[in-house]
Amino acid sequence: MIIIIVVIILVGSCLGSFFTVIAERVPIGISLISPPSHCPKCKTKLKPLDLIPIFSYLFLKGRCRYCQTKISSISTIIEFLLPLLLLLLYYTNHLNIVYLPEIIIILTSIILSLTDIFYLELSPSIFLTGYSFSFVINYLFYQPVHIYFINSLLLYFMFSALSYLSTSKIGLGDVKLICFLSLTLNIDNLVRLLLYATSSALLYILYLYIKTIPIKNKKIPFIPFLTLGYIILFLQ
């Protein structure tokens, strides 16, 4: 049992680090291999000791070893939260091949959440890769996914029309992710997902307001809240 927990923590933290690299590089067309990891400020190539998930950030006190520039904490937060999520899935018996389509959706959505945080956009290549994998696995091994696929398309056209007609625009990236998440959801669960997502987003806005952080004319990424809503729904 202890060995399994340690493996999950190590794999989760490494995946969190890798997901951050994907989210930072793929949307702007940079290779995942070259250039190697480096400080965005001084461009110094990072050594292996600088790349240990969580521990390197804590050891270096959140600063670059070479130029002392403050390092973004987003990667470290993901390196910490993803192992916790995987452990939660394991203890609730959701870390199972039966739930492979949902797990793929969750992991893809986490990467897309990061791209939304970094660039306020949904990466088409990451989205299409995750969508295709989830659709094919669902189709080959599990349920009559064509029903969910049709629902997904209908939702896309409905939300796109709503975005076009509404004065407060709905981001098309958000629309695409909702359609992606709907591949494994019926209408009732989709409504609950949107309720969880909007509620968590409102709580976040309330937090910013209490902290007197200015939010007027500031775009807030919504994909992370959709992802959180899906995870909550999946664990129920």
pTM of the model: 0.89
CA 161/CA 170 separation, integer angstroms: 10
Burial class (CB in 10 A: 0-12, 13-18, 19+), 184: buried
Q: Is 40 exposed, middle or buried (0-12, 13-18, 19+ CB in 10 A)?
A: exposed
pLDDT (tens, 9 = 90+) of the chain, 236 residues, equals 789 999 999 999 999 999 999 999 999 999 888 888 888 788 888 888 888 888 888 888 888 888 888 888 899 999 999 999 999 999 998 888 888 889 999 999 999 999 999 999 999 999 999 988 888 887 776 666 666 667 777 777 776 676 666 555 567 788 888 888 888 888 888 889 989 999 999 999 898 888 877 776 778 899 999 999 999 999 98
Q: How far apart are CA 113 and CA 119, in angstroms?
A: 10
Only one residue has tokens 């989760």, namely: 12
Start-to-end C-alpha separation, the chain = 24
- Whether the bond between 35 and the residue before it is cis, its omega within 30 degrees of 0, is yes
Domain range summary for the chain, segments of one domain joined by + = 1-95, 100-235
